[in-house]
A and B are shown apart, each in its own frame.
Chain A
Amino acid sequence: MQELGRAEHTSVRVTPKGKDQVVIEKDLSSEEMILNMGPQHPSTHGVLRLECKTDGEVVIEAEPYLGYLHRCFEKHAEMVDYPGIVPFVDRMDYLASMNSDFAFCIAVEKLLDIEIPRRIEFIRVIVSEFNRIASHLVAIGTYAIDLGAFTPFLFCFRDREHMLSLLEWTSGARMLYNYILIGGVAYDFPEGFKERALEFVGYFRPKALELQKLLTENEIFVKRTKGVGIMPADVAVNYGWSGPMLRGSGVRWDLRRMDGYSIYPELDFKVCVPDGRFSDIGDSLSRHLVRAMEIEESLNIIEQCLDRMPEEEGFDPKAAIPKRIRPKAGEVYGRAENPRGELGFYIQSDGKSTKPLRCKARSSCFVNLSAMKELSRGQLIPDLVSIIGSIDIVLGEVDR
């Protein structure tokens, strides 16, 4: 079988000859080599393992192996009651805990059929948009490291710390908040939050531009990402892509707009898709651009929310939380737009217990990563790094 595989495979060698000429030799049969990348590798963003079948510098196929961080989320969800699941949801996508909690609470609230106070919705949107920016900053910073630029990473983490301290001030934790609860939030905003948040937005706008100048307009960065890992829109949909990945392929699809959950229908924001002037639609650079543009949009959303948020004296953020969370028998699929795409929860309740019968997390990175095999076909090994970085995986969410 192996012999057959080798005979079938042919390769092309390109040798430069003279100044502007190249010699192309076809049908050279060559040795294939299996190259393992990960699970301990600095640019796999965690414990992902890629088994690359290579032919010289060209990757024939890269097969991802997951499960090195499988922390049994779905088992835990069946073993603890509904409010107890929230901390485990936090630890799934640890870069965007607020957004993950939001998605989970949306799903359970849909099943419970309860009304959420308006101020709570504003609080939730503000904190999750802050978390979205923080998450995109990590994505951009680590992507820059993957491609050999260290400075943007420092820039990103410097600004991320400001957001973390805002969120810590609100929720009491730096990364894994357990802040958005089913039917409410844990605490109201501290006094003076609005001022500090606005101050941050004012501070961060020029910094975001600076980051763009430093990284997105950098010629080396563009050369490494433009035209690499192109994904056509229809294939992307077939692979179930969502979020910045799908928008990078030119599909105007954002659950914040399409599902219109929470107060997003009232807000004015753009669904960012690349316009093709700067990048080839669907390549790694497009996906990076979408993230960069979304940071802007999130800042707009935060400003609007801070402006319109109803002020209430002595507001109790836990007032709408049911005493006992026991949904009636039924099933629900609730979802929300995470920084990495659609995070959905399929929950099955039997109506008697305070624990779900089944809780499946439809993780966005897991689905986005499933196209890795297709994306990697025929790419160069260094481009593989550029592709993985642009998918922006969080292994906690991939493996759950």
Chain B
Amino acid sequence: MGLLDAKISKHNVLVTSVDNVMNWARLSSLWPMGFGLACCAIEMMATNASNYDLERFGIFPRASPRQSDLMIVAGTVTMKMAERVVRLYEQMPEPRYVLSMGSCSNCGGPYWKHGYHVLKGVDRIIPVDVYVPGCPPRPESLIGGLMKIQELIRMEQIGISRAEALKKLEEKSMDPSQLIQEARKSAKAS
């Protein structure tokens, strides 16, 4: 926001839109649910711990779904767990976001073909906002995914649906195909 960086002395008035303030507040205190499933949960813990320190982004895991606004699905969701995940998601208050961390929760990962008891993608049961690839994703990529969530929140406006916000986000982020084309061309030239 830049507001806090500028020196604000007493009795100042800031003029901004309600959306801005709301989004700023939401995105700078994302509280994920402390909810680990499998290997990715260890990387999530490592991200929370000393070296990567998620708390500097205002992200601190909460033990209860009722206090959290972000669900990091960290690991393999199995058939036995699927209904519990849905229930936990339903217990979270709106607005809520879901980050699917790791290949398993994105699509079933290595368990895609023969994993009879593995849910092939958590998006079969709950809507997912951001997918983070990797098996498991490094802490850096998890932080990258969380930044994407923050971008998503920044797009939100009162009276605009999530789908429209997503569309807006898509428009804003650059299309990578053009960059790849350019890189290919320059590679050929050299």
Contacts and interface: CB of A to CB of B under 8 A. Distances in A.
Contacts of A158: 49-51
Contacts, number: 98
Interface residues of A, number: 35
Contact of A42 (B42, B63, B135): B63
B38 A69 contact: yes
B49 A68 contact: no
Contact of A71 (B50, B76, B84): B76
Contact of B80 (A67, A88, A174): A67
A76 interface: yes
B106 to A, nearest CB: 15
B38 A157 contact: no
B110 A68 contact: no
A160 B36 CA distance: 19
B39 A94 contact: yes
Contacts of B50: 154-155, 157-158, 161
Interface string A155-198: 10110110010000000001110000000000000000000000
Given A71-B111, A158-B50, A396 B38 contact: yes
A175 B115 contact: no
Nearest to B114: A79
Given A94-B42, A175-B39, A69 B75 contact: yes
A40 interface: yes
Interface string B77-114: 01011001000100000000000000000000011011
A39 B135 contact: no
B130 interface: no
Contacts of A71: 38, 76, 78, 111, 115, 117-118
Contacts of A176: 39, 135-136
Contacts of B34: 42
B26 interface: no
Contacts of A138: 42, 45
B50 to A, nearest CB: 4
Given A42-B34, A69-B81, A175 B49 contact: no
B39 A91 contact: yes
A211 B114 CA distance: 43
Nearest to A70: B117
A359 interface: no
B86 to A, nearest CB: 12
B37 A76 contact: no
Interface string B131-163: 000011010000000000000000000000000
A69 B38 CA distance: 7
Pick from A40, A141, A142, A161 the residue with the most CB of B within 10 Å. A40
Contacts of B63: 42
A157 B115 contact: no
A227 interface: no
Contacts of A75: 114-116
B78 A79 contact: no
B43 interface: yes
Contact of A39 (B49, B81, B110): B81
A350 B76 CA distance: 32
Nearest to B63: A42
B42 A95 contact: yes
Contacts of B81: 39, 47, 68-69
A24 interface: no
A46 interface: yes
Interface in A52-78: 67-72, 75-76
Interface of B: 33-39, 41-43, 45-46, 49-51, 63, 65, 75-76, 78, 80-81, 84, 88, 110-111, 113-118, 135-136, 138
24 contacts: A40-B35, A40-B84, A67-B117, A69-B75, A69-B78, A70-B117, A71-B111, A71-B117, A71-B118, A72-B118, A75-B114, A75-B116, A79-B113, A79-B114, A138-B42, A155-B50, A157-B46, A157-B51, A158-B50, A158-B51, A161-B50, A174-B136, A174-B138, A176-B136
What are the 7 closest A-B residue pairs judged by CB atoms, nearest first?
A157-B49, A94-B39, A158-B50, A154-B50, A68-B81, A79-B114, A161-B51
Given A71-B117, A153-B49, 8 more contacts: A39-B81, A70-B78, A91-B39, A158-B51, A161-B51, A174-B43, A175-B39, A396-B38
